[in-house]
Structure 1
Amino acid sequence: MPLKHIVTENAPAAPISGLFSQAVRAGPFLYTQGTPGARPDGTMVEGTIQDRTRQVIRNLEEILAAEEMTLKNVVKATIFIKNFDENFPLVNQVWEEMMPEPRPTRTTVGVAQLPAGGTDIEIEFVAYDG
């Protein structure tokens, strides 16, 4: 099964071009990169962590759409957030608002720093289209 690298201009580019892919398709599975709360042009969304979380999910929706998938195809999510105790309930509010039922399995990890400059949240998805 050949791997297919997914690229869309409707989501932020991989942080270091050539080293990362926005996503990789492996058969019926799509694995996304960790995506920050940045606009497609790479500028970080200002405001609250909820604003950046909404942007992350919109970015990931665009990556899924590039392979004719939607949020309903997401089976696993990993969320990395700074200031875990403060931000965890705020991220959960957006998650409940934006993610369709049945919601995917999820792991949320508190981190001291994220590689994408200026962000406090990063999310990656595994989606299934089978």
Structure 2
Amino acid sequence: MSKAILVEQAPQFPLPFSHAVRAGDFVYVSGQVGVDPATREVVGATVEEQTKQCLRNIETILQAEGLTLDHVIKVNAFVHPEMLAGYNAAYRESFSEPFPARTSVPCDLGTYLVEIDVVAYTKSARSLE
């Protein structure tokens, strides 16, 4: 059985999706962009700023289930092609080792420089052991 997760403090868009879905021991967070949750305005002009905001939005959604970024086991990112280095720098600041599994797809998202979705495992945080 799965449960839709809607978080009032996360960005609200008039689109048909849940912020996340919990299925068993996993939480699947929908793609988030680097916008301020209150205004839906893009935060910053750089991929680093937008990546950090994406991950803050994701963290807000995870917190609704008692989780943190340390519970993330898989990251999918769609990044403007010329901005992968900046994305990697912001990503490294936000996640600790061992890093989650990851896929990064170069693409043009228009105003948004990055969109990120994640899968979190509820039973434990990532570990080197």
Paired-residue identity, %:
39
Return 5+ residue gaps in structure 1 as ranges: none
Return 5+ residue gaps in structure 2 as ranges: 124-129
Distance change in 2, residues 1:113/1:21 (3 Å): same
2:126 maps to none
1:97 maps to 93
Looking at structure 2, the residues matched to 10 and 99 of structure 1 have their Cα atoms a distance apart, in angstroms, of: 22
2:127 maps to none
The alignment partner of 1:101 has SS state of: coil
Give 2:114's match in structure 1, choosing from 116, 121, 126.
121
The alignment partner of 2:102 has SS state of: strand
Residue 6, structure 1, aligned to residue 5, structure 2: yes
Residue 53, structure 1, aligned to residue 46, structure 2: no
1:51-90 matches, within 5 Å, as: 51-82=49-80, 84=81, 86-90=82-86
Residue 112, structure 1, aligned to residue 108, structure 2: yes
Looking at structure 2, the residues matched to 81 and 73 of structure 1 have their Cα atoms a distance apart, in angstroms, of: 22
Report deviation, 1:15.
Answer: 4.8
1:20 maps to 17
Runs (4 or more) in structure 1 with deviation over 6 Å come to none
- The letter of the residue matching 1:73 is H
Report deviation, 1:47.
Answer: 2.3
Looking at structure 2, the residues matched to 74 and 52 of structure 1 have their Cα atoms a distance apart, in angstroms, of: 19
TM-score, scaled relative to structure 1: 0.88
- Paired residue total: 122
119-128 vs 42-51, greater mean Cα deviation: 42-51
Residue 30, structure 1, aligned to residue 24, structure 2: no
87-96 vs 5-14, greater mean Cα deviation: 5-14
